[in-house]
Protein backbone atom coordinates (compact mmCIF):
# COMPACT_ATOMS: atom_id res chain seq x y z
CA UNK A 1 0.00 0.00 0.00
CA UNK A 2 1.46 3.32 -1.03
CA UNK A 3 0.15 6.59 0.33
CA UNK A 4 0.78 9.46 -2.10
CA UNK A 5 3.27 12.09 -1.06
CA UNK A 6 0.75 14.86 -1.39
CA UNK A 7 -1.23 13.48 1.53
CA UNK A 8 1.81 13.67 3.76
CA UNK A 9 2.38 17.23 2.65
CA UNK A 10 -1.19 18.16 3.50
CA UNK A 11 -0.95 16.53 6.92
CA UNK A 12 2.28 18.35 7.61
CA UNK A 13 0.65 21.56 6.47
CA UNK A 14 -2.23 21.16 8.88
CA UNK A 15 0.15 20.31 11.71
CA UNK A 16 2.28 23.33 10.87
CA UNK A 17 -0.72 25.66 10.88
CA UNK A 18 -1.90 24.25 14.18
CA UNK A 19 1.50 24.98 15.63
CA UNK A 20 1.50 28.51 14.25
CA UNK A 21 -1.93 29.16 15.73
CA UNK A 22 -0.71 27.81 19.06
CA UNK A 23 2.38 30.01 19.06
CA UNK A 24 0.46 33.11 18.10
CA UNK A 25 -2.56 32.81 20.32
CA UNK A 26 -1.62 31.12 23.58
CA UNK A 27 -0.42 32.96 26.66
CA UNK A 28 1.18 30.05 28.46
CA UNK A 29 4.86 29.79 27.59
CA UNK A 30 4.99 26.01 28.02
CA UNK A 31 2.20 25.57 25.50
CA UNK A 32 4.00 27.93 23.14
CA UNK A 33 7.06 25.70 23.39
CA UNK A 34 4.93 22.64 22.69
CA UNK A 35 3.50 24.36 19.63
CA UNK A 36 7.04 24.95 18.44
CA UNK A 37 7.59 21.22 18.78
CA UNK A 38 4.49 20.71 16.62
CA UNK A 39 5.96 22.96 13.95
CA UNK A 40 9.25 21.07 13.99
CA UNK A 41 7.35 17.79 13.67
CA UNK A 42 5.49 19.12 10.65
CA UNK A 43 8.79 19.97 9.03
CA UNK A 44 10.07 16.51 9.83
CA UNK A 45 7.07 14.84 8.24
CA UNK A 46 7.62 16.90 5.13
CA UNK A 47 11.32 16.05 5.00
CA UNK A 48 10.79 12.34 5.47
CA UNK A 49 7.93 12.26 2.98
CA UNK A 50 10.04 13.84 0.28
CA UNK A 51 13.00 11.70 1.24
CA UNK A 52 10.81 8.68 0.64
CA UNK A 53 9.46 10.19 -2.54
CA UNK A 54 12.88 10.81 -4.00
CA UNK A 55 14.33 7.55 -2.64
CA UNK A 56 17.12 9.47 -0.95
CA UNK A 57 18.16 9.36 2.66
CA UNK A 58 19.30 12.97 2.95
CA UNK A 59 15.90 14.12 4.17
CA UNK A 60 16.02 11.63 7.02
CA UNK A 61 19.47 12.88 8.02
CA UNK A 62 18.10 16.39 8.10
CA UNK A 63 15.17 15.18 10.17
CA UNK A 64 17.61 13.70 12.68
CA UNK A 65 19.37 17.04 12.96
CA UNK A 66 16.05 18.80 13.43
CA UNK A 67 15.16 16.38 16.23
CA UNK A 68 18.51 17.16 17.85
CA UNK A 69 17.82 20.86 17.61
CA UNK A 70 14.36 20.36 19.06
CA UNK A 71 15.82 18.52 22.04
CA UNK A 72 18.37 21.25 22.67
CA UNK A 73 15.76 23.94 22.27
CA UNK A 74 13.36 22.23 24.65
CA UNK A 75 16.06 21.88 27.29
CA UNK A 76 17.11 25.52 27.04
CA UNK A 77 13.55 26.79 26.85
CA UNK A 78 12.38 24.86 29.87
CA UNK A 79 15.46 26.01 31.79
CA UNK A 80 14.58 29.59 30.98
CA UNK A 81 10.98 28.98 32.00
CA UNK A 82 12.03 27.56 35.37
CA UNK A 83 14.40 30.44 36.01
CA UNK A 84 11.76 32.96 35.03
CA UNK A 85 9.06 31.34 37.11
CA UNK A 86 11.36 31.39 40.10
CA UNK A 87 11.79 35.12 39.72
CA UNK A 88 8.39 36.35 38.64
CA UNK A 89 5.86 33.65 39.63
CA UNK A 90 4.13 33.77 36.29
CA UNK A 91 4.01 31.81 33.07
CA UNK A 92 2.11 34.21 30.87
CA UNK A 93 3.97 35.42 27.84
CA UNK A 94 2.53 38.92 27.86
CA UNK A 95 3.62 39.52 31.42
CA UNK A 96 7.23 38.84 30.59
CA UNK A 97 8.31 42.43 30.29
CA UNK A 98 11.70 42.38 31.95
CA UNK A 99 13.24 43.93 28.88
CA UNK A 100 10.61 46.63 28.61
CA UNK A 101 11.70 49.96 29.97
Residues in touch with another protein (CB under 8 A): 2-11, 13-18, 20-22, 24-28, 30-31, 33-34, 37-38, 41, 44-45, 48-49, 51-55, 57-58, 60-61, 63-65, 67-76, 78-83, 85, 91-94
Residue 92 DSSP SS3: strand
d(CA 22, CA 32): 6
Shortest spacing between CB 52 and another protein, in angstroms: 4
d(CA 60, CA 41): 13
Nearer to another protein, 90 or 101 (CB): 90
Q: How far is CA 82 from CA 52, 57, 64, 66, in A?
A: 40, 38, 27, 24
Shortest spacing between CB 72 and another protein, in angstroms: 3
Amino acid sequence: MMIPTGHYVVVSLLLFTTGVIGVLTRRNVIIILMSIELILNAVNINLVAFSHHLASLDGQIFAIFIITDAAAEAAIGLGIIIAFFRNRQTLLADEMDLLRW
